[in-house]
A and B are shown apart, each in its own frame.
Chain A
Amino acid sequence: MNTNVRGIISGLLLGAVLLNPVSSYADEAKVDSSDENSRSGGYLKIGYGYKYEETPFHDKKDGGALFLSGRYQFENGIYIEASHGANELSIGNSVGYNFYNTEHWSFDLHGMQAHGSTEMGFGFNNGNSENSDIEILHMDGKYTRMLGLRTTGTYDQATIQFIFAPYSFNDEYDDGIFASAWIGRSWQLKNWELHALVGVTYRSEEINNYYYSTSDEIIAKNEPQLGPYQADGGFDVVTQVGVSYPVSKNVLFESYLRYTDVSDEVSQSPVMRAFSKIDGRAENVTEFGFLFSYVF
């Protein structure tokens, strides 16, 4: 939760930077006359709505939620991006450099969050009675920022995106590999926009072991359910459908349903299996939301 708050605050700060250059973004009187292939410019979207989320990573969320997303690319190709409130595991804040574009494809040097930070606590009863002291052992992981290449293709209403990131800024483990492939399509029905999205994300064994293998300290407790674990690389599969409707030239209504089939390498790890026993946790991620956003 703290991570989310920090992310949203940093996103808001990013938004404050973005606000000035994009304040006229939705103003039809100020049409950008730049090249159609230019990627420069951006937007900032701040929304509030309802969100339901069941996940193995935190307690169930069911209520009001703040959503924030934005992107701004400078003329020199450097861009900053923020996404909070949805798909928090894989997006967050990003920076990059858009170095080459064709009519349909853009190519970026992309610095992104490949995995959020984790905070796990395990309580061990050191005595035989219930009144014995309980020792809490923590297994925390720093968020992982990675650098890689991203290419995005746009064909009419379809978008395809590939990311391959081999370099990690997290110095607590050797470089792993993060990769993803997405395909999405949108349809217009009057002024409504419907979209569908399918994606696969890959995290190599270095990443999965850093976050999900049982620590030596916990293994030493000889708890049968928390034994040693060696993860391999694994794939998450994400599907999403959603609708959007422009309420006014600055206000957008959106609703989405997203399901993430979490990699077995993660969900079958002893630590995640232990957490899955907590009420309100699920093995995979189901997320539903609807929100009204103000778009600058």
Chain B
Amino acid sequence: MSLNSAFFLAMYFNGGDKMKISVKIHQKIASLLRDNRIINLWLLVGFVAMNTAPTAANELTLKLKPSQCVAIHQGKTCYVDVELLWQAQDKGEYCLYSSQQTDPLKCWSKSDNGRFEREVLARKNVLFRLRESKTGGVTISKELEMAWIYKRNAKSRSTWRMF
């Protein structure tokens, strides 16, 4: 905890345009030490550091192929075979969700990687989300984007383009 805090402070004081402020902060710290309030400062710094320092634990990656589905006309159902590959640093319980349904597409137990394939039928973007199911805290998402050649104003086309 104290190492993280020191790292955070060093990074903060090295900020170029903050140097004048940093000097003032140093002076303030000295003053606080004299006032026996240093403990409060370190608690504050520690709290900030805990929330901003990079989380080294359990990084997730999620790959989606392809990332786009193309239909000829906007509003028509687009068909695409998607493949999702994920990898975690730690083994655990993971579930893959889609914005098209509430139930998970698939769950893995005691795994640190997984693969999922499915044909997706969609008219709007689909969000895939991988979630660590025990804590629910670690998630990562990828979006399948819908695209089209001709936009919805089909009537303006069909008034002339009969084929």
- A interface residues (Cβ-Cβ under 8 A, vs B): 25-26, 28, 31-32, 34, 36-43, 69, 71, 73, 79, 81, 83, 94, 98, 101, 106, 108, 150, 152, 154, 159, 161, 182, 184, 188, 190-191, 193, 195, 197, 199, 240, 242, 244-250, 252, 256, 295
Contacts and interface: CB of A to CB of B under 8 A. Distances in A.
B13 to A, nearest CB: 42
B18 to A, nearest CB: 37
Contacts, number: 105
Contacts of A193: 72-73
Contact of B155 (A42, A154, A295): A154
Contacts of A25: 150-151
Nearest to B150: A43
Interface in B135-163: 145-163
A182 B147 contact: no
B83 to A, nearest CB: 17
A152 B76 contact: no
Interface of B: 68-74, 76-80, 145-163
A150 to B, nearest CB: 7
Contacts of B161: 69, 71, 83
B152 to A, nearest CB: 7
B148 A41 contact: no
Chain A binding surface, main DSSP class? strand
Contacts of B162: 159, 161, 182, 184, 197, 199
A295 B150 CA distance: 8
B152 A152 contact: no
B100 to A, nearest CB: 18
Contacts of A83: 160-161
A28 B69 CA distance: 11
B153 A38 contact: yes
B163 A246 contact: no
A94 to B, nearest CB: 7
21 contacts: A26-B150, A28-B146, A31-B151, A32-B151, A32-B152, A34-B153, A38-B153, A71-B156, A71-B160, A94-B160, A101-B155, A106-B159, A154-B155, A154-B158, A188-B76, A197-B163, A199-B162, A244-B72, A246-B70, A246-B149, A249-B149
A28 B147 contact: yes
Contacts of B149: 26, 246, 249-250, 252, 295
Contacts of A184: 162-163
A73 B154 CA distance: 12
Contacts of A159: 158, 162
A246 B159 contact: no
A191 B78 contact: yes
A71 B153 contact: no
B151 A252 contact: no
A184 B159 CA distance: 12
Q: Which of B76, B146, B148, B159 has the most CB of A within 10 A?
A: B159
Contacts of A191: 69-72, 78-80
Nearest to B75: A36
Given A193-B72, A246-B72, A249-B70, A152 B159 contact: yes
Nearest to A112: B160
B156 to A, nearest CB: 4
A32 B150 CA distance: 11
Given A191-B71, A191-B72, A39 B163 contact: no
Given A41-B151, A246-B72, A28 B145 contact: yes
A39 B153 contact: yes
